[in-house]
Amino acid sequence: MHVDNRGPRAGEPVVIAKGVTKTYGRTRALTGVDLEVRAGEVLGLVGHNGAGKSTLMRVLAGLEACDEGAVLVHGKEVSGAAGPRAQDFRAVRMAYQETSLCPDLTVAENIWVSSRHCLPRLRWRRAASDAVRRRLDEMFPGHGVTPRDRVEDLSLAQRQMVEITRASLVDRLDLLILDEPTESLGPDAARSLYDYVRTLTAAGTAVLLISHRIREVLSVADRVAVLRDGAVTAERFAEGLGEQDVLELMGAHVAVPSDRERAAARAAGDGADRPVVAELRGATGPGLREVSLRVGAGEVVGLAGLAGQGQQEVLERLWRPVRRDTTVVGTRAYVPGDRQRSGVLPLWSVAENLIVTAMRGLARQGLRRPAEERAAVGDWVERLAIRGGADAGITELSGGNQQKVIVARAFASTAELVLLDDPFRGVDVHTKTDLYALIRQEAAQGRSVVWYSSENAEMAHCDRVYVFRAGRVVAELVGEEISEERIIAVSFAESESDGEQSNE
């Protein structure tokens, strides 16, 4: 693939939005956005779910036309009445939070679909394979992906790596838009990505980074812009800016366990006096090595550690307890980590997605009760402030609002055990605060929760945390023992068993 290195000089605007508005039906997604993205910089864009971030990105990438205002690329207005033209946005590329890859195609075939204009027509498969292999090696060493792999067979993290790589493979790249790029990546892959981002900006490429992980944004961005209610309400240089400063600009606050929650965790002790709802006894199998854990009634149990160390396998065992080493008492509800493949029902409305698991509990003598269903939906929509309302199509919602619906669906059921697979991936800090409170409220009423999170700080809201490494439980933390620092230390600490395993 030939790469054209001629681009704008550092500091020159690559893409400018002037008074951009966008409306979908009754929803006003953008209300007059003014924004500049400059060559050689990383601009971090932050805001709540539903603030208009994804809509703005689609407009800046030329995927949608704005209703009013103008978009300029290299000083040329490209938002004509006929809509954006692909050739005007050829050097602007976007990596989506929910990947745009075709699952039935191979990695190389996906690259051809998106980059065929800069690949040879003859022997295109070899050219696409070579290009994606080189770029994956540059961006994500140790990725484990081959060009012949079908996307459907890749893990969520690997699909995200391919998605980001796909966006970067173009003959000239002036602006790379990254929409929540690290939500599915582990710490090592995230660090590798940001190292590559710094290489891009040093060469003059502009990068627009959207993320709810404020610390990550501040660690890599040169400037930070805040989007609220469809408009940019603040812009600041990242240097000297703290996480709390950004959250205040967003109108949010950091969610931490309350004194009452900490007191409850201390009073709970190790949970030995609670009736056992679920238990693993020396569970071994794919991804697991002699795992023992238990879940008490009304207990919030966290599964922590680096990604891919056995946490999802534990959730799968609890969801389908078919082995003798696993016992689960009562009914279960599951919130999957991949909402697009396993979570949302795309042809249904918000109400239908939300109420489907609660229908049996609300029915009488096998007959549905529509009035009770509407009341339950209305209650959950109001409790979680689901933007768009009950009648909206689920795919019309932002990713974070879709995630709220999936979480609400689990808690709206009568399940005694709720299993959460990284449920707040891509959810803004304000929504997370509401959902943390929801989990504690449900636990106080006797419901048990098993919660895997890729963000160790979230584990402070649990009663007990099991830390995983290489398919084993390497620590059990209770009450005040639970902290992000302790989890990280245990996750990276070497043990004799690790050494023995590595030498086998």
Contact status, residue 290 vs residue 282, Cβ threshold 8 Å: yes
CA nearest 391: which of 430, 357, 448, 353?
353
Mean pLDDT for the chain? 84
Reported as a single tens digit per residue, the pLDDT across 414-463 is 889 999 998 877 677 777 888 888 899 889 999 999 999 888 888 999 99
Predicted pLDDT at 207: 96
Residues 200, 202, 203, 204: is their CA dihedral positive or negative?
A: positive
Q: Calculate the alpha carbon distances from 255 to 211, 247, 324, 431, 461 in Å.
A: 17, 11, 39, 10, 10
Q: Give the other-Cβ count within 10 Å of 198's Cβ.
A: 12
**What CA–CA distance (Å, rounded) separates 303 from 147?**
33
pTM of the model: 0.65
Token duo for residue 242 = 């703290």
Question: What are the structural domains, with CATH classification, of the chain?
Answer: 13-91+172-250 (3.40.50.300), 98-155 (no CATH), 255-330+416-504 (3.40.50.300), 343-414 (no CATH)
List phi, psi (to 5°) of 39.
-60, 140
Cβ-proximal residues to 3 (8 Å cutoff; 6+ apart), any chain: 171, 172
**What CA–CA distance (Å, rounded) separates 382 from 180?**
26
Predicted pLDDT at 299: 95
280 pLDDT above the threshold of 60: yes
164 pLDDT above the threshold of 80: yes
Q: Report the percentage of the chain scoring pLDDT > 90.
A: 38
Predicted pLDDT at 500: 42
108 pLDDT above the threshold of 70: yes
Q: What is the largest CA-CA distance in the chain?
A: 71
Q: How large is the average pLDDT for residues 386-403? A: 79
Residue type, 228: R
List phi, psi (to 5°) of 421.
-100, 95
220 pLDDT above the threshold of 90: yes
Residue type, 138: E
Reported as a single tens digit per residue, the pLDDT across 31-60 is 999 999 999 999 999 887 678 888 899 899
Q: Is residue 246 helix, strand or coil?
A: helix
Give the rounded distance of the alpha carbon of 303 from its chain centre.
17
Predicted pLDDT at 263: 52
Strands in 42-46's sheet, in edge-to-edge order, are: 92-95, 175-179, 206-210, 42-46, 223-228, 231-237
265 pLDDT above the threshold of 60: no
Contact status, residue 60 vs residue 105, Cβ threshold 8 Å: no
Predicted pLDDT at 503: 36
Q: How large is the average pLDDT for residues 398-421? A: 85
Predicted pLDDT at 496: 37
177 pLDDT above the threshold of 50: yes
Q: Is residue 456 helix, strand or coil?
A: helix
Token duo for residue 175 = 């602006």
Predicted pLDDT at 134: 94
Residue 343's pLDDT band (cuts 50, 70, 90): low
Reported as a single tens digit per residue, the pLDDT across 54-103 is 889 989 988 888 888 999 998 888 865 556 787 888 889 999 877 789 98
Q: How large is the average pLDDT for residues 348-358? A: 83
Strands in 13-24's sheet, in edge-to-edge order, are: 27-38, 13-24, 68-73, 76-77
Predicted pLDDT at 498: 45
Residue 492's pLDDT band (cuts 50, 70, 90): low
Predicted pLDDT at 197: 95
Contact status, residue 320 vs residue 417, Cβ threshold 8 Å: no
Q: Which residues pair with 36 in a beta bridge?
A: 16
Where are any strands of DSSP class E within 59-204? 68-73, 76-77, 92-95, 175-179
Predicted pLDDT at 426: 65
Q: Is residue 93 helix, strand or coil?
A: strand
Where are any strands of DSSP class E within 297-432? 300-304, 326-328, 332-335, 417-421
Predicted pLDDT at 388: 74
Q: Calculate the alpha carbon distances from 355 to 359, 364, 441 in Å.
A: 6, 15, 20
Predicted pLDDT at 393: 84
CA nearest 222: which of 242, 236, 212?
236
247 pLDDT above the threshold of 60: yes
Residue 479's pLDDT band (cuts 50, 70, 90): confident
Tokens 């979480």 locate to: 407
Residue 133's pLDDT band (cuts 50, 70, 90): very high
